[in-house]
Structure 1
Amino acid sequence: MLVTVALIILGYTGFRFACALGYPPAGLSGGKQGQEVAVRRVRQQHRLVSRSWLEFTIGGKNRWLPVYFDPVLVTLTQVTAELSGRTVRIDGHRVYPSGRLRDSEPVGRLVDNPARPDPEAIGRTGVGRRLVLDAQSAVVGPFAGLLWVYVAGGGSPAFVAAALVAAATATWLSAVRGSDPS
């Protein structure tokens, strides 16, 4: 069972990595040439999930694109970005999409970046803060361990192993979806 979980995690991570690099292309601008557009960063807060989104207007429609967190986003105000295929460049810095382009506003509360960003905010976005944010979903681990012992048996060692695997998988899933520690 552990090998199956590990293969699923590695396969899905590879798929997300390939999508973030632009394979298969899912065209933001519909072509290879770059399109300059005004973007702003918004942070979505929905239940335990916090993600970064780029909001912009193309063809008279508002669009939202989830992106992996980058410290550059913390101080980002309304700027011009270059969109080309699935590539997003903001002031020469590449930002990686963490999901599909949306035509509808993401669920939850959207928080704008401040007009005057705090220069010390970048220092509060380290690995520790990100791990604390992602590890909130690890609460599911003991419940999955109890379910595993109930269905498959195995006693205490099986419970501990199943709880650890479930907690690690839940933490990984939060991170791979593009959490935002800011």
Structure 2
Amino acid sequence: MAYPISVTIGALAVCAALAPFGTLDQVAALGAVALAIVGYTGYRFAVAFSFVSLRGAGTAGTVRVARVRQQHRLTSRSWLEFGEGRRTRWLPVYFDPALLTLTEGTAEVTDRAVVIDGRRLYPSGRLREQEPIGRLIDNPSRPACGPHLLAAVHLRRRLLLDAQSTVAAPFAALLWVYIDGGGFPAFIAATCVAAAATIWLSAIKGSDPS
């Protein structure tokens, strides 16, 4: 959870740093963006720490668990696949290095958490009955280690992967300048805010850098 928290703080810092240089309308827009970031982050963390997704779902004790990585357009997320008889359920989780060492059947599930080798995983969404859309990539049968493991958890790699969605930031900035004016300085500032917001959104949804 350290990564999404850090990215959230960074996005709020960008808004705070630009606020003293903006007009009244621009400061109001920055405040609205910051408020949206705080509100949605609070909701995501409430889901992650409440474990409502697992309570009363019949998923507890020793069950078959496998990790899959979802690839859909620019989205990459980690999911835990629970097998209960003929029924399969999927739970999105925030990325943790322990996921790279997970092989099928090595996780312990309680009514409040998913624990792998003593490490707790935090849900990034609700438990669902339908298979996630996109391409699902199974975890290797042998745990990852060495350089691949170190590269997957590197902060720079995670930021670069989440920054793919920032291609839309200049277009959002152009729209803002068209509506509010301000010229080139306003365009640069709006681009920075939009880029920070898109990186934050990818991180808070539970992006997977592996």
TM-score by length of 2: 0.80
Give SS of 1:79's match.
coil
Structure with the larger strand share: 1
Give SS of 1:56's match.
strand
Task: Report the alpha carbon displacement of residue 34 of structure 1 after superposing the two structures with TM.
Answer: 4.5
Equivalent residue, structure 2, for 1:35: 61
What amino acid sits opposite 2:53 in the alignment? A
Aligned equivalent of 1:94, options 120, 135, 146: 120
Aligned equivalent of 1:167, options 191, 195, 198: 195
Structure with the larger helix share: 2
Equivalent residue, structure 2, for 1:13: 41
| CA distance in 1 between partners of 2:177 and 2:171 (Å) | 10
Equivalent residue, structure 2, for 1:127: 155
What amino acid sits opposite 2:184 in the alignment? S
For 1:47-126, list aligned pairs within 5 A.
47-58=73-84, 60-120=86-146, 121-125=148-152, 126=154
Task: Report the alpha carbon displacement of residue 158 of structure 1 after superposing the two structures with TM.
Answer: 1.5
Question: Structure 1: 5+ residue runs without aligned partners?
Answer: none
What amino acid sits opposite 1:20 in the alignment? A
The number of residues matched between the two structures is 180
Alpha carbon RMSD of aligned pairs, Å?
1.8
What amino acid sits opposite 2:63 in the alignment? V
Task: Report the alpha carbon displacement of residue 19 of structure 1 after superposing the two structures with TM.
Answer: 1.2
1:93-125 CA-to-partner distances (Å, cap 9, x unmatched) read 200000111111111111111112332221111
| CA distance in 1 between partners of 2:124 and 2:96 (Å) | 12
What amino acid sits opposite 1:51 in the alignment? R
| CA distance in 2 between partners of 1:26 and 1:106 (Å) | 16
Task: Report the alpha carbon displacement of residue 134 of structure 1 after superposing the two structures with TM.
Answer: 0.5
Bigger mean CA offset, 75-84 vs 128-137: 75-84
Per the alignment, do residues 86 and 155 of structure 1 end up closer, same or farther by CA in structure 2, a change over 3 Å counting? farther
Q: Any conservation in 1 of the 2:80–2:92 contact (CA below 8 Å)?
A: yes
TM-score by length of 1: 0.91
Per the alignment, do residues 94 and 80 of structure 1 end up closer, same or farther by CA in structure 2, a change over 3 Å counting? same
Equivalent residue, structure 2, for 1:181: 209
Give SS of 1:94's match.
strand
What amino acid sits opposite 1:70 in the alignment? D
Task: Report the alpha carbon displacement of residue 28 of structure 1 after superposing the two structures with TM.
Answer: 4.4
Q: Any conservation in 1 of the 2:78–2:207 contact (CA below 8 Å)?
A: yes
1:8-56 CA-to-partner distances (Å, cap 9, x unmatched) read 1012112211210016x2334447x942212011111111111111001
